Structure 1
Amino acid sequence: MGTIRRRLLLLLSLLLHLNPSLTYSLKSCNIDYSEDPSADVVLDCSNGELVVIPDDIPRDVSSVNLRNNTIGRINREDFGFLSKLRLLSLDLNEIADIDDGSFIGLVALTKLRMRFNNLTNLTSNLFQGLFNLTTLDVGNNNIQFIDTSAFRFLSRLQTVKLDSNRLRQVSDIQPILQLPHLRELIIGDNQFHSFQTKDLLLNMSSSLQMLDVARNELEKFSITTPIFPRLELVDISRCGHNASLEWDIPDKTLLRNITQLYFSYISLPFKEMQNVLQSLDSLMHLRLNHMREYINKGLLKTVCKIPTLKKLDLSHNQCPNISAKLVSCSQLTELDLSLTYMTELSQGSIRSMKQLKNLAVQGNFLSKVPDDISGLSSLEILDLSNNLLTELVCGDFLNTTRLTELYLNTNHIAKLDGCVFENMNDLKVLDLSENLLWTFGSAFKMGLQKLEFLHLSKNSLSILEEGDFKGLRSVKYLDMVSDNIKLVRHKALEGLNNLQTLIVLLPLTFEINFTGMQQLENLTIYFNTDIGFKKPPPNLYEAFLNLKSLKMLTIICKGDHFGYPFDIPSYILKAMDHLEEFTAVNLYVSAPHPKTFQFNSQLKNLTIEQTDLSDLDPELFRPIPNLKSLDLSKNKLRSLDFLAQVDLPALSWLKLRENELMVINETVFQSLPALTYLDLLGNPFTCNCSNAGFIQWVKSNNQTQVVNAYQYACSFPVAKRGSKLLDFDIQSCWMDINFFCFISFTCLVVLTLLTSFIYHFLRWQLVYSFYLFLAFLYDSRRRKKESPHCYDAFISYNVHDEAWVYREMLPVLEGEQGWRLCLHHRDFQPGKPIIENITDAIYSSRKTICVISQRYLQSEWCSREIQMASFRLFDEQKDVLILLFLEEIPAYQLSPFYRMRKLVKRHTYLSWSQAGQHTGVFWQNVRRALETRDAPTENTNLLTGPAGSFHQPEAPMSSG
C-alpha cells in the first residue's frame, strides 16, 4: 500500500507541475540570457564559492565559466559528456589534481582556461579526448613537469599559454613545438635560465609564429637552428639581470620573418641591443616600454634607422624629452608616446613624419596642442586625452585635414574658438568629454561635415544656446550628459537632422524640441530636478510628438523624486509607433495610465523602475502583445496576478527585483509560455506552505531559469529569517493534500468500476426498481385520496400495433361489450409529463391490458407502462393486469421484466396467435377477465382471472 501511495503521489506531482513551457533553475550557476531561443547556452558559475563542479550543468551548454571559486579537484565524472561545450574557464580556483581523462567527454571543446590554480604536473592522459582544442591556457600555476606525451591528443592546438609557472628546462616545451598547427607559445615568467634551440631535439620545423619568453631570468637567448621559419613576433621583455642577457643569433636569416619585437625592460647590453636591432631587416613593430636608460644613451638613433619600421611604442618611459630623439624617424606610421611625462612635444621632433597616421600622447602633461601636429597632413588618429590642455586655438589642427578620430577628453579645455575644427572635413569621431567647457561658441556651426560621433559629457556647460549644433548635419551619436545644464533653448539641437542616438541630461525647464530629427532612433534623457522647481511647464512633453522614428527611449530622473503631484501624460509616446524599447526610471509617481502604450504595438523591451506600481492596471500591457523583456524592479509590487490577466505570448525575460512579493503563485507563469528568464532577487519571501507550489515549480520546471533562486532569503516568519527559501521543506505541505488526492483518486476508480459493472449487468433491474419506486409513491398518494376508477381498462400497446387495436380490439370491447377503455392518444392530458399520464391512466383504470409484441418489448415507454402496472399488481395483490400476447415471445426476451416472466411461467395468459379461427372465444375470455372485480389474488389468477379459462403457459413459453 505504501508503494502504491508513493507512486500515486509522484504521478500527482507530475500532473500538477509538468508544463513543457517552463525552464530551469540551477543551484550555483546562471544561464546568460539571450532573446534568441536558438542561441548558444552560456553558463556563468563564477564567484559562487563552489568547492566542487556543479552536478546540474545542462547537457546542451556551449560555454561554462567557473572562475573565482574554491574548486580543489576535478574528478573523471565531473563533466560527463557535454558534447556541445566549446569554452571552459576554470581560472582563479584551487585546482591541484585532475583525474586522467576528466575531459574525455568534451569532444567539441576549443578553449580551456585554467589560470591561477595549483597545478604542478601535466600528465600523459590529462587532455585525453580534447582533439578539437585550439587554445590551452594554464598560466599562473605551479607546473614543474610536463609529460612527453601530454599533448599527443591535441592535434589542433594553436595557442598554448604556460606563463607564470615553474618550468626550468626548455626541453619541457619540446612536445608542444611538435604540434602541427601551433601558432602562439607563451612561456614567460617561468624559471628558464636560457632559451637555446640546440636543446630542442626537433627533426622538423615548427609552425610557431609568436614566441613570448618575457619575465624570465634568461642568461642566453639563442637561435642557431632553423626550427622557427615562420616566427613573426618575439617578446623578450623583462629578461636578464644587470645587462647580463646574451643574444645569440649569428645568422640573421633565421629571423628573416620577424616583424614584431617587444624589448620592454630588457637587460641586454646597450651595444648588443644595437646589434640586434640592426640585424632585423623586416622589423615593422617595435615596443620599447620602460627603457629610459637606453633611450637616454641614444638607442632611438639606431631604431630610426630601421627602414622597415612602421609602428613604434615608447609608452611608459619617464623621459620628458623623448620626442627630441625622434627627429630622424620619418618612416613611422604609428607612434605611441603615452605616459612619458612629457610637458611639451619638442618642436620639429615629429614634423618629418609625413606618413604618420596614428599618434598617441595621452596621459602626459601637455598644456597646449603641440605645434608639430598642425603640420601632420597624413594624420588620421590623434589621442591627446588626459593631459592639461586649457584651450584650443585656430592653428592647432591647421593642416590635419585627414584626421578621422580626435580624442581631447579629460583635459581642462574651457571654450572653443569657432575656427578650431573648420578644416577637419574628414573627422568622424570627436571626444571632448570631461573638460571645463562652458560654451561651444561657433565651433559646431561650420566645418565638421563628416562628423558622426560627438562626446560632450561631463563639462561645465550651463546653457544650450539656439543653433549650437547647426553645422553638424552628419552627426549620428551625441552624448552631452552634464549636471550643470540649467537651461535649454527652444532650437538648441537645430541642425542635427541625421542624429540617431542622443544622450542628454536636461532640467525640467527645458524648451528643447526635436523638430527635424527624423532619423533619431535612440534617445536617453536624464532629468535634473531642481529643489526650487515647483511646477512643470504645460508643454513639457510636446517635444516628444516629433519623434516618429524613435526605437529606444530611456527617461531617468536623477535624485529624489519630484516634490509635487506629477503625472506623465499618456500621449507622450503617441507618435512613436516604431518604438521597441522603453525605459523609465524614477519617472512615474504611480502606475502609468492604462493607455500609455496604445500606439506602441511594436514595443519589445519595457523597463519601469522606482515607481509605486501597487495599483497597476493590467490593461497597460494589452496593446503590446509582442513584449519580450519586462523589468519591473523596485516598484513595491505585492502580487503578480496582473500577469495572468494579460496575453504576453512572447515574453521571455522578466525581472522583478526588490519588490514586496512575499507569496508567489506559480500558476501565473503558466500564462507566459515563452518565459525563459526570471529574476526575483531581493523580495521578502515567506517561507511556509503558501509558497510550496512556487518552490516546487522552481526546482522542477525545465524551461524558465529562476536566476539566483538558491540565494532567495526568507523574511517571514521571523524564526526562519536568514535561511534560504529553497531550503524550506515542502513535504509536510504536500502530505495532507496528496493523501486527500490519493483517497479521492481511489474512490473515483472504484466508483468508475462499480458504475461500469452495474451498467453492463444490472441496468435493467435498476430501471425496473426505479419505476416500481415511482409507482409506490403514486400509489401511496392515491390511497390517501381514495380516488374512484374512471376507466374499466387502460390499453398499453406499441404504436406499431395500433392498427390491430383499432381494427380488432376497440370494435369488440367498446362497441360490442361496452367497456370504457383508456388509450394514450385519446385520453392523455396534453402538456402533462408522459410518466405522470401513464401513472394516472394505470391507477384510474380497474385493469391494465398489455398488448405484448416484439416491438412492445423494445419500446421505452411501453416498458415503463408494464413496469408500473406490474408494481400495482404486486403491491395491491389484486387481479389488475391482463397480458395479451399478439405473437409468441421467447422467454429470454422477457428477462428485463423478470417478475412478470416468473408469473407468466406459472400462470395462464391470453394468446391471439393461438386463437386461430376462434376469435369469439378469445374475446369472451377477455370479457371474463375484465368482469373480475377486486377479488384477492389468492382466489383469482393474477394475470387472467379464474383458473382454467385460458391457455396454459407451456405453449407460448416452451422456448424459454
Structure 2
Amino acid sequence: IQSLRPPRSLRSALPLRRMGPGFPLLASLLLLTPGAAAYGFRNCIQSMENPESFRCIQRFLRDITSAVGDLPPNAMYVNVSHNSIHRLPAASFRHLPQLQQLQLVYNRLETIEDWAFENLGALDMLNLSNNRLASLSEGAFRGLGNLTSLFLSNNPLSTIHPRALQPLDHLRILDLYSCRLASFAAVARSLQGLTRLQELNLCGNRLWSLNSSCPLPLSLSTLHLCNNSLRAVDGGGPQLLGHIRSLNLSYNKISNVTSFASAELRSLSYLLLKGNPLDVFHLLNVSSLPPRSLDYSGLHLGEEGVSKVCQRLGSRPLKRLMLQSNNIRELRNASFSLCPPIQTLDLSWNKLRWLACVDKWQPGALERLVVEHNLLNRLGTCEHAASLEALHFISFRYNRILSVKYWAFGYAPNLRILHLNINTIAYLHKHALKGLRYLTELRLDNNLLTDLYEPSFADLLRLRTLNLRNNRVSILFPYVFGHLSQLQTLDLGGNNIRHLTNMSFSGLSSLSKLYLDRNRIKEISSDIFHPVQATLEVLDLMANTLQYITKIQHKSPPFRHLHKLYDLKLQAQQPYGMKIIPARFFQGLAALRFLRLSGNKLLSISPDAFDDLAQLHYLDLADSCNGMQDLPPGIFKNLRRLQKLNLENVGLHSLTLEVFGNLSNLTSLLLAKNQLQTVNVSVANALGLLRYLDLRKCPLSCTCENLWFQNWLANRWVQVVYLYNYSCDSRQQLGYVYSFDTHVCFLDVGLYLFSVTAPALLLLMLLPLTYHRAYWRLRYHLYILRSWVNDRWRRQDGEHFQYDAFVSYNSADEEWVLGQLVPSLESSQGSVRLCLHHRDFELGKSIVDNIVDSIYNSRKTICVISRSYLQSEWCSLEIQLASYRLFEELKDVLVMVLLEAIPDRELSAYHRMRKVMLKKTYISWPLEPAAQRLFWIKLRKALKGSYTEEEEEEKLSSSSNGYKPLLDWSN
C-alpha cells in the first residue's frame, strides 16, 4: 500500500489507525488486498471539494480521540464543534502536524492539559469559543508557535496564567469577548512577549479599571473594551493607549471626561464611545483626541448636537460621519450647513419619522446615505430638488415606509444602488422611481406590494438586479418589465403569483437568473419562458404548486427552448409534490448541469425523463419517498457526465445495473435513509470514479450477501461516510456491518457438502452388499455381544443353572436326538436335565433370545454334528454363541457329538467349526450296539465335568496336528 503513493489527502488514511477494538476485521480485509485504499472515519466527514478539510460536527462525542483519532496526518482544517468534549489531554493532536485551522466551538471544555496542542507547529487559527474554560494554565498553548488567531469568547474565563500566552509568538488576533476577566493588569501581564499582536477583544468582561503596570504590546492597533464597567481611561499611564489606532469603549460607565486629558490619543483614527454618560464636547476640549477620529454614534446629540459636531470637524472633506443612536427625531436643512463635505452619512438607529429631500444637506459631496432602523413612514416627492450628483447609494432598510411618492428620488439622478427592503411599502407610485436612469440594483423585498405596473420601472434602463421577494404580488401585468432590457437577476420568490403568460417576462432580453420560488404557480409552459429563452441560465420554481398526475403530457415540454439553462430548481412542490415526472419533461435542456427535485414525494418517474440531460452534473432526488421504491430501469442511461447524485430517502430497496450502469463519472452518491440491505456487486464495479458514498441509516444486513461491500471497498479510493457506525439490521442481529464475522463466508460449501454426502452415498451402496455377503456374520457378532453382556450380568448374580445341557441339533437329526439321546440321558439312571428347543423354548420370545437364554441357563451345550448341522445357519449361530464361553471364559461348556464321519477336507470349509474342534475334543456316535453303551458313559462323564481343564489342555497339546477325538470307534 505504501508503494502505491496515493494522493496526499488520502495517503495517511490508508493505515486506518486508532479505530477501536472492532476495527481489525475490516482492516485485515482491506490490507490483504493489493492496492487497498478504501477508507472511512468514525465521526468525521471529509470534504469532497477540499480533501484536507474534515467536519466532525454534532456527533455527541465526549473525548477528542474519538473525533480526530483516525484522521490522516495531512488534515489541515478540522471542525469538531457542537459536541460534548470536556478535556483536551496532552498530545491530543500529535498525529496532525499539518493542521492549520481547528474549531472546537460549542463543546464543554473545562480543562486544557499542558502540551495538548503538541506538534501543531503549522496551526494558524484556533477557535475555543462557547466552552467552559475557567482558567488557562502555563502550558496550555505550548507547541503553537505559528498561531495567528485565537478565539476564546463566551467562556467563564477569569484567570490567565502570566505565561500561558507566551508560546504564541506569531499571535495577531486574540478574542476574549464575553468572558469573566476582572483585572486589566492581569490581562496586560499575560500579553507580554506577544510582539505581533494587532487586535485584542475584551468586550463583555468585568473590567472596571485600566490600571496596569505592564504596557500593551506596541504592535497592538485595535482594542475592544466595550460592555465592561470602566469609569475612566486613566490608570495605565499616558502611553498605555498611545499606539492604539482603533478603540471601542462603548457601553461602559465612563463619565469622568477629565481622565481623557492624561491619555495620549493622538494616534487614534477611530474611537467609539457609544452608550457612555459623558459630554462629548467637553471631551474634545480637554483631550488630545482628533475630532474626526470620533464615532459620534450613541452620544445623545439630538438635532442641535449635529450642528455643534459639524463646527468641530473643520472644513476639510470628511469620509464618514456616524450619527447612529443619537435620538434624532427631526433634521432640518440647516443641520448640516456647517458640516464639511461628507462622503458617507449614517443616521441609522435614530427616531426619524420623516425625511425631507436631502438636496440641501451636502450639495455635491454626499456619496452614500444610510438611514436604517428608523421610524420613516413615507418618502415624499422631490421632483424639483437639486441634484446630488455624487450620491450613488441610498439605504432606507428597516423602517416603516408605507408609501413612496412621485419622483421620490429626484435629488439623486446618478443613483446606482437603492435599498428599500424590509419596510411596509404597500403603495409604490408608478413614477416613484422616475429619473433613476443609472440605477443598477433595486431592492424592494419584504414589503407589502401587490401590484406592479409598467411605468414603475420605465426609467430603469440600466437596472441589472431587481429583488421583489416576499411581497404580495399576485399578477404580473403584460410588459411590466418591458423596459428592463439590461436586467440580469429578477427575484419574485415568496409572492402569490398563480398564473404566468407569454407576456409576463417580455422585454427581459438579458435575464440570466429568474427566481419564482414559493409562489402558487400551478402550470408552466414553454410560451412563458419564450422571452428569456436565449439568456436564462438559472430558474428557481421551488415550492410552487406544480403537479402532474399522468405520465403523458398534453402540452409541449415546458423547458424545450431554454438551451442555456444550467440550474433548475423544482424541489418541494406543494402540497404533496409533483407526484409524477412526465415523459420528456426536461426536453430541450441541453446545457443543464444542476437539477433539484428533492421533497416531491414522487410516485413515478418516466424512464426517459432525463434522456435530454446529457450535460447534467448534479441531480437531487432526496426526500421523494412516497411509494416509488425502486427507480425504473434505464432512467440514468444518458447521464454519463453526472458527478453527484443525491437519493436520500427515496424508498430504494435495491440498486441494479440497469439503473446505475451508465454512471461512469459519478463521484458522489448519497443513499442515506433508504431500505437497502444489499447491493448488486456489478453496480459497485460500474461506479469506477466514485469517491464519496453515504449509506447512513440504511438497514444493511450482516450476511454474506454483503461481503461484496468490504471487498469492493478494498479496491477503491472511496470515502464511506461514518463507515464504522453502520449497524446491522436490528431485525436480524446486533452489531456493526464492518465487524461482523465473515469467516463463514469463506467456507467451501461444495467441499463440506461432498464430505457429508460422499460417505452417506458409499454407505447406501455398501449396505446391500453387506446384507448379502455378511448378514449372518454381523448378526453373530451382535449376538455374541449380547451373550457377553448377559454373561457379565449372570456372573454378578452367581451361577445357578436350570439345565444340565442344551442340545443343539439340526431338524434332520431330530429322530436320533429324540429316539436315542433324550431317553438315554433323561432316564432314571442318567438324571440329566436337557433343554430342547421344541420343548423348552419360551413362547412369544424371539428365537435368538431363547437360544442365548438356553445356552447361559445350561451347564453344558451338546452339539450334535452332522453334515446337515454344518449347513444350518441356526446351528452355526448356536455353536458360535456356545463357543464364546469356551474361548473367552476358558470353561468346559461345549460337548461335541459326531453322528457321522466327516472328512477333514469337508470340515475345513467350516472354519468356525474347525476352530472349535481344534480347541475341543469330541465324541463320535458308533454304529455297533456294543460300543454305544460306552458312548453313553463317556457322554455322561463329559456332561458332569469329569475332565478338568488341565486334562483338556494336555490332550490338545498331545495332538501335534489337527484335532484329537475323545472316543474314536474307527480304531
TM-score, normalised to structure 2, is 0.66
In structure 2, relative to structure 1, the CA distance for the partners of 1:405 and 1:739 (3 Å cut) is same
The CA deviation string for residues 450-499 of structure 1, in whole angstroms up to 9 with x for no partner, is 21111112222222222111111111111112452122221211111111
Shift in CA distance, 267/483, structure 1 to aligned 2, threshold 3 Å: closer
Structure 1 residue 263: Cα displacement: 1.2
Deviation at 1:43, TM superposition (A): 1.7
Q: Distance in 1 between matches of 2:110 and 2:28?
A: 46
- Quick one: which amino acid aligns to residue 653 of structure 1? S
> Of the candidates 59, 64, 72, which is equivalent to residue 78 of structure 2?
64
Paired with 1:346 and 1:550, the residues of 2 have a C-alpha distance of: 45
Aligned residue for 2:119, secondary structure, equals: coil
Residue pairs, 1:555-954, within 5 angstroms:
555-556=570-571, 558-561=573-576, 568-570=582-584, 572-585=585-598, 589-609=602-622, 610=624, 613-642=628-657, 645-664=660-679, 668-683=683-698, 685=699, 688-689=702-703, 693=707, 703-708=717-722, 716-717=730-731, 726=736, 730-731=740-741, 734-738=742-746, 740=748
Could you tell me whether the CA contact under 8 Å between 2:580 and 2:604 is conserved in 1?
A: no
Q: Distance in 1 between matches of 2:240 and 2:24?
A: 72
Q: Partners of 2:31 and 2:164 in 1: how far apart?
A: 51
Distance in 1, matches of 2:552 and 2:680, equals 43
d(CA) in 2 for partners of 1:539, 1:690: 49
Aligned pairs for 1:61-210 (under 5 A) are 61-163=75-177, 164-170=179-185, 172-176=187-191, 178-196=193-211, 199-200=213-214, 206-210=218-222
Q: Give distance in 2, aligned partners of 1:399 and 1:568.
A: 54
Residue 626 of structure 1: how far off its partner (Å): 1.7
Q: Is the 8 A contact 2:550 2:582 kept in 1?
A: no
Q: Distance in 2 between matches of 1:381 and 1:275?
A: 35
Q: Does 1:553 align with 2:568?
A: yes
Q: Which residue of 2 aligns with 1:929?
A: none
Which deviates further from its counterpart, 500-509 or 9-18?
Answer: 9-18
Amino acid at match of 2:654: S
Residues 1:477 and 1:580: Cα distance change in structure 2 (over 3 Å): same
1: CA distance, partners of 2:750 / 2:207: 73
State the 1:728 CA deviation. 8.5
The corresponding residue for 1:46 is 57
Aligned counterpart in structure 1 of residue 474 of structure 2, from 456, 462, 465: 462
Query: How far apart, in 2, do the equivalents of 1:707 and 1:116 lie?
Result: 27
Matches within 5 A, 1:374-453: 376-443=388-455, 446-453=458-465
Counterpart pick for 1:240 among 250, 253, 264 = 253
Say whether the 8 Å CA contact 1:419–1:443 is kept in structure 2: yes
Paired amino acid for 1:288: S
d(CA) in 1 for partners of 2:25, 2:583 = 53
Q: Tell me, yes or no, if the aligned pair for 1:360 and 1:382 is still in contact at 8 Å.
A: yes
Quote the residue 2:313 is aligned against. 306
Q: Is the 8 A contact 1:301 1:325 kept in 2?
A: no
> Quick check: 2:500–2:528 contact (8 Å CA) kept in 1?
yes
Given that 1:350 and 1:372 are in contact with CA atoms closer than 8 Å, whether structure 2 keeps it comes out as: no
Distance 1:264 1:698 in 2: 64
Q: Pick from 498, 508, 524 the counterpart of residue 540 of structure 2.
A: 524
5+ residue gaps in structure 1? Answer: 1-5, 748-960
393-402 vs 13-22, greater mean Cα deviation = 13-22
Residue 679 of structure 1 deviates from its aligned partner by 2.8
User: Equivalences for 1:276-425 in 2 at 5 Å?
Assistant: 279-281=288-290, 283-284=292-293, 286=295, 288-289=297-298, 291-292=299-300, 295=302, 298=305, 301-302=308-309, 305-307=312-314, 309-316=318-325, 319-321=328-330, 326-327=335-336, 328-329=338-339, 331-345=341-355, 351-352=361-362, 354-369=364-379, 376-425=388-437
SS across alignment from 2:309: helix
Change in Cα spacing, 1:305 to 1:11, as seen in structure 2 (3 Å) is closer
C-alpha contact (below 8 Å) 2:636/2:659 kept by paired residues: no
Letter of the structure 2 residue corresponding to residue 394 of structure 1: Y
> 1:93-148: per-residue Cα shift (whole Å, max 9, x none)?
22222222221211211111112333344333332222221111123334444344
Asked whether the equivalents of residues 247 and 272 of structure 1 are also in contact (C-alpha less than 8 Å), the reply is no
Letter in 2 for 1:524: D
In structure 2, C-alpha distance between the alignment counterparts of 1:81 and 1:657, rounded to whole Å? 31
Instruction: Let me know the Cα RMSD of the aligned residues.
Output: 3.9
Q: Deviations over 1:876-932 (max 9, x none)?
A: xxxxxxxxxxxxxxxxxxxxxxxxxxxxxxxxxxxxxxxxxxxxxxxxxxxxxxxxx
- Does the CA contact (< 8 Å) of 1:663 and 1:691 recur in 2? yes
The 1:300–1:133 alpha-carbon spacing in structure 2 relative to 1, beyond 3 Å, is farther
**3-state SS, counterpart of residue 301 of structure 1:** helix
CA distance in 2, matches of 1:536, 1:665: 29
Is the contact made by 1:23 and 1:676 (CA closer than 8 Å) also made in structure 2?
A: no
1:790 — aligned with what?
A: none
Aligned to 1:780: none
CA separation of 1:166 and 1:226: change in aligned 2, threshold 3 A = closer
- SS in structure 2 opposite 1:170? helix
Q: Are the aligned partners of 2:432 and 2:456 in contact in 1 as well (CA < 8 Å)?
A: no
Residues 10 and 634 from structure 1, CA distance in 2 versus in 1: closer, same or farther, beyond 3 angstroms? Answer: closer
Partners of 1:349 and 1:280 lie apart in 2 by 32
What residue identity is the alignment partner of 2:199? E
Equivalent residue of 1:606, what SS?
strand
Distance 1:515 1:131, change over 3 A: same
Using a 3 Å threshold, how does the CA distance of structure 1 residues 542 and 443 change in structure 2: closer, same or farther?
farther
Letter in 2 for 1:359: L
Q: SS at the partner of 2:490?
A: strand
- Using the alignment, how far apart are the partners of 2:716 and 2:205 within structure 1? 47
Secondary structure of the structure 2 residue equivalent to 1:173 = helix
Query: Matched residues in 1 for 2:32 and 2:505: separation?
Result: 59
Greater displacement, 391-400 / 482-491: 482-491
Write the letter of the residue equivalent to 2:181.
Answer: R
Q: CA deviation at 1:604?
A: 0.9
Query: Sequence identity, in percent?
Result: 24
- Give the secondary-structure state (helix, strand or coil) at the position aligned to 2:744: helix
CA 1:461–1:7: 2 relative to 1, 3 Å: closer
Give the C-alpha shift of residue 396 in structure 1: 0.2
Distance 1:455 1:349, change over 3 A: closer
**Please, which of 446, 450, 471 is the counterpart of residue 483 of structure 2?**
471
Is the contact made by 1:567 and 1:588 (CA closer than 8 Å) also made in structure 2?
no
Shift of 1:645: 4.9
SS of aligned partner of 2:596: strand
C-alpha change, 1:737 and 1:221, in structure 2 (3 Å) is same
Classify the secondary structure of the residue corresponding to 1:61: coil
Query: Could you say what secondary structure the match of 1:192 adopts?
Result: coil
Q: Given that residues 8 and 742 in structure 1 are in contact (C-alpha distance below 8 angstroms), is that contact kept between their aligned partners in structure 2?
A: no
Shift of the 615–739 alpha-carbon distance from structure 1 to 2, 3 Å rule, reads: closer
Q: Distance in 2 between matches of 1:287 and 1:702?
A: 63
Q: 1:512 aligns with which of 523, 528, 531?
A: 528
